[in-house]
Amino acid sequence: MNLFDVYPLNNITITKAQGSYVWDNEDRKYLDMYGGHAVISIGHTHPHFVNRLKEQLDQIAFYSNSIQIPLQHQLAKKLGEVSGKSDYQLFLCNSGAEANENAIKLASFHTGRKKIVAFSKGFHGRTSLAVAATDNATIIAPVNATDNVVFLPFNDVNALTEYFNKEGNETAAVIVEAIQGVGGINVASDEFVQAIRTCCNNYDAVCIADEVRYGRTGKFFAFDHSGVEADIYTMAKGMGNGFPVGGIAIAPHIKPKHGMLGTTFGGNHLACAAALAVLEVIVDENLLQQAEQNGNYLMTKLSAIDELKNIRGRGLMIGFDVAGEHATLRKELLSKHHIFTGEAKPNVIRLLPALNISLADIDAFIDKTKTALAELTLSTVG
Ligand SMILES: Cc1ncc(COP(=O)(O)O)c(C=O)c1O
């Protein structure tokens, strides 16, 4: 059997990893400024994470959601404490798309309505409702296309308010990334986030914050920087530092009913152990604050490089534009300087490193970026 060929791959085979570094099968060392797509939150093979998973594996890896799983309660308690949402309820699943799928479905159950507001350049995953709320026609299959999702311009308070004045009573939910990731690191303004909250309040719609990349911005949830709260926060990616685990944190006024949501794998013993290990490291190593400080440091250093334009983001969720002769910077960083970064089309580089990346590694990244830019300038002049 061959693999179904859907991924454009780099010709690199990674065989081991530690902290912010990975090594290929020829023992070449790479700096990981991409965190395997914002997944590596506490660093590759963090010893606490590895030990906790090994210990759990020796006890029990999985049993279905038909029995008591105390680890789920421990995770809910810890998540509530660290995120400041102790009164919210937790539903566990396995991925970001699944988290958003459940959030939208729950909003529809809760309100009895069908219309969902999503935003230009938003990305929420590839399953049916999540992809229908994603602003990318090329990944929406005909069966996923629906008139129930309305796309409004991101960061446009007037368009949002006008829409709600007309259609608010039909609207089940608004789903938004407070910082758009795949869309190219676009930060929602405080006014925009607050307007979403107000519209949802005025029309009893559910406000869903897609926080699949949570923990990177200095606050647990990026949405909370604007001083208002969402009704549902969706989580995945860094939640298990590579172990597949997702979840949604649900405000107390949204009530559960048996059978309303469900999953076979969600909340299994190993997944809970992984998510707990991540939260324990986040607290022990003060990683929310460190992400903010090191992110500010990185952004200041990037801002001093003339060739990089429009540096933006918050904490360790950073994007910038590269253009003209420097447009191939990302490829050069990987092939010549052995640094992984992320991209967004057309010419955006995204940085999503582990939350505990060191200042020395950030400095090394900046030095190599300067060298790569100089090489690119020379090659066009030459
Ligand atoms: C904001 C956001 N939401 C949802 C998803 C989908 O997550 P997953 O790939 O785990 O389904 C992603 C993935 O990149 C994302 O960035």
- What are the domain boundaries of the chain? 14-38+307-381, 47-284
Phi then psi for residue 344, to 5 deg, are: -140, 145
Is the beta carbon of 178 within 6 A of some atom in ligand 1? Answer: no
Average pLDDT score over the chain: 97
* Residue from 115, 110, 134, 104 nearest 208 by CA: 104
Q: What class is the 47-284 domain?
A: alpha beta
Residue 324: pLDDT band by 50, 70, 90 thresholds?
A: confident
Q: Is residue 125 in contact with ligand 1, taking CB distance under 6 Å? A: yes
Burial 340-372, CB ≥16 within 10 A → b, else e: bbbbbeebbbbbbbbbbbeeebbeebbebbeeb
Give the mean model confidence (pLDDT) for residues 115-128.
98
Q: How far is the CA of 355 from the centre of ligand 1 (A)?
A: 18
Superfamily for domain range 14-38+307-381: Aspartate Aminotransferase, domain 1 (3.90.1150.10)
What's the pLDDT at 382?
63
Closest CA to 15 of 27, 32, 3: 27
The pLDDT-based confidence of 236 (bands split at 50, 70, 90) is very high
Hey, which residues does 16 pair with through a beta bridge? 23
Find the mean pLDDT for residues 95-112. Answer: 98
> From the CA of 124, how far away is ligand 1's center (Å)?
5
Q: Ligand 1 in contact with 123 (CB < 6 A)? A: yes
Comparing 378 with 17, the larger pLDDT belongs to 17
CA distance 95 to 371: 38
From the CA of 370, how far away is ligand 1's center (Å)? Answer: 31
Task: Tell me, in angstroms, the distance from the centre of ligand 1 to residue 375's CA.
Answer: 34
Residue of 92, 121, 211, 212 best suited for mutating to test ligand 1, as the one with most atoms within 8 Å of CB = 212
Nearest residue (CA) to ligand 1, atom 13: 125
For the Cβ of 361 lying below 6 angstroms from any atom of ligand 1, the answer is no
Ligand 1: nearest atom to the Cα of 236: 10
- Rounded CA-CA distance 263/260 in Å is 11
Ligand 1 centroid–CA 126 distance in Å is: 8
In the predicted structure, residue 316 carries a pLDDT above the cut 90: yes
Q: Is 236 in the pocket of ligand 1 (CB under 6 A)?
A: yes
Kindly give the distance from the C-alpha atom of residue 123 to the centroid of ligand 1, in angstroms, as a whole number: 7
CA of 145 to the centre of ligand 1 (A): 19
Of 323-327, 341-345, 369-373, give the range with the top mean pLDDT. Answer: 369-373
Instruction: Please check whether the two domains, 14-38+307-381 and 47-284, share a CATH topology.
Output: no
The confidence score (pLDDT) of residue 381 equals 74
Give the pLDDT confidence of 138-195 residue by residue, as tens digits.
999 999 999 999 999 999 999 999 999 999 999 999 999 999 999 999 999 999 999 9
pLDDT tens digit sequence for 362-374: 999 999 999 999 9
Distance CA 215, CA 223 (A): 11
302 pLDDT tier (thresholds 50, 70, 90): very high
Our mutation pick for probing the ligand 1 site, out of 237, 248, 263, 343, counting the most ligand atoms within 8 A of Cβ, is 237
The pTM assigned to this predicted structure is 0.98
Q: Tell me the pLDDT band of 229, cut-offs 50, 70 and 90.
A: very high
